Amino acid sequence: MATPAVRMFRRLEGLFCVYKPSGVHWKLVRDSIETNLLKVLNATPSQPLPQEVRFLAQPSTETEAPKGLTLSATSVPVLSKHPLVSGPEFQNIQVGVGHRLDAFSSGVLVLGVGNGNKTLNDLYRTRVTRDYTLEGEFGTATDDFTHTGGVVERSTYEHITQDKLERVLAMLEGANQKALLMYSNVDMRSQEAYEMAVQGLLGPEGKSAPILTGLRCIHFQPPNFILEVQCLNETQKYLRKVVHEIGLELRSTAVCKGIRRTRDGLFTLQDALTRHHWTAADITQAIRQYHSSKKHRKHSLSWDNLNYILLSTDSALIQSS
């Protein structure tokens, strides 16, 4: 029979996303969420102790007839099942992390609880794109491509105009589009390759080098600029390197001041829980939302078609921004 704690755990199984602040290791986030959930799970009122019938020897109060034990049946609680003996019901729960975010970046971090971890594995095996907002600043180059690193070189940036930046971004995008075609395993001489290229479905399956499927500048005020990036198989260090390389292409230098993930697959900033909402109640609600949206999606497609959804949500996001 499932205890109330187990029933509550069943409600908690699934995927949800949190907003990871910058300066914090992702493991701390995962650990604090696990602690919060455990606290609530173990605080559920435990079931009353089961009773069992034991034949206990009654101590005879009279001094006569010392021989011959008289056993009487008594119902005693099973002490081995007492929480103080067996310990809390949940010692640890499996909280898994999706695509990791390093300490410098912030944004959407997908977590899965219990059975949701299996879904996490499947999700990251299909081709999932992520959206980032990169803030950069011209004029400096550092050793770890961030504004807090050791300065390697400083250079002028007065010659940079938005038009030149757009040209460099167009060149980078062209190179990445070509990389998308090169890493796909389809034979380029087949009709299937042409059909997929027209629909934009050609891409790497599984592991590959990081590829930026979309890149554009949304704010330009020298020395600061903000880029919106859509990428596959990336790491945040690679994105900082991209900012550095944009600076080099413009015959100047650039550092990355901040990376913010705005979307990871189908989880967006709107669904992300901020620090004050890392409680079991909010997480349960987020997971319920995820399950209901999954039901809507399951009606019309399978995991293979997830790419269509991702591409169309990308376009919807860009049109709405």
194 part of the interface to other proteins, by CB under 8 A: yes
In angstroms, the CA 223 to CA 232 distance is 28
In angstroms, the CA 93 to CA 186 distance is 41
State the amino acid at position 92 in one-letter form: N
219 part of the interface to other proteins, by CB under 8 A: no
The C-alpha torsion from 230 through 232 and 235 to 238, rounded to 10°, is: -70
Q: Which of 4, 87, 200, 206 binds other proteins (CB under 8 A)?
A: 200
* DSSP-based three-state secondary structure for 167: helix
- From the number of C-beta atoms within 10 Å of its C-beta (0-12, 13-18, 19+), residue 148 rates as exposed
Applying CB under 8 A, the site for other proteins has a residue count of 49
54 part of the interface to other proteins, by CB under 8 A: no
Least distance from other proteins to the Cβ atom of residue 18, Å: 23
25 part of the interface to other proteins, by CB under 8 A: no
315 part of the interface to other proteins, by CB under 8 A: yes
Least distance from other proteins to the Cβ atom of residue 192, Å: 8
Least distance from other proteins to the Cβ atom of residue 224, Å: 13
Helix (H) or strand (E) holding 319: helix 306-320
Residues between 149 and 168 with contacts to other proteins, criterion CB under 8 A:
150-151, 153-156, 158-159, 164, 167-168
In angstroms, the CA 104 to CA 214 distance is 22
Which has the closest alpha carbon to 106: 82, 135, 80? 135
Could you count the other beta carbons within 10 Å of the beta carbon of residue 72? 9
Residue 290, C-beta contacts closer than 8 angstroms, at least 6 positions apart: 14, 15, 16, 271
Based on the residue annotation, tell me whether 102 is a catalytic residue of this protein.
yes
Least distance from other proteins to the Cβ atom of residue 234, Å: 16
185 part of the interface to other proteins, by CB under 8 A: no
DSSP state of 193: H
Mark 249-278 with x for binding to other proteins (rule: CB under 8 A) and - for no binding.
xxxx--------------------------
Question: Annotated catalytic sites, by residue?
Answer: 102
| Contacting positions for other proteins (CB under 8 A) | 140, 142, 144, 147-148, 150-151, 153-156, 158-159, 164, 167-168, 170-171, 173-175, 177-178, 181, 188-191, 193-195, 197-200, 213-216, 230, 249-252, 311, 314-315, 318-319
